[in-house]
Amino acid sequence: MFSNLQLRDLIAGRKLKQALKEFGYELLEVERINKLLPFQAKILTLYCEPGDYLIMMLFFIGGLI
């Protein structure tokens, strides 16, 4: 059984997923965005060592150098 809060979050998640789908986007799964970048890049970050950049990092930075 879901609580009201869990049910609200579930409905909001489904609405978000549907809205993204309508515009040609999809939610990325954790396994997909936690992989290393498939190309060489230089990203200014303190989060990891150079070359150990994850796909998800591209969503939180202004760009590549």
pLDDT the model gives residue 65: 47
**Is residue 54 within 8 Å of 33, Cβ to Cβ?**
yes
CA dihedral over 44, 48, 54, 57, signed as positive or negative? negative
pLDDT averaged per 10 residues, the chain (length 65): 80 86 83 79 69 69 51
d(CA 30, CA 60) in angstroms, rounded, equals 15
Among 27, 29, 58, CA closest to 42 = 58
pLDDT the model gives residue 59: 66
31's tokens: 């396994």
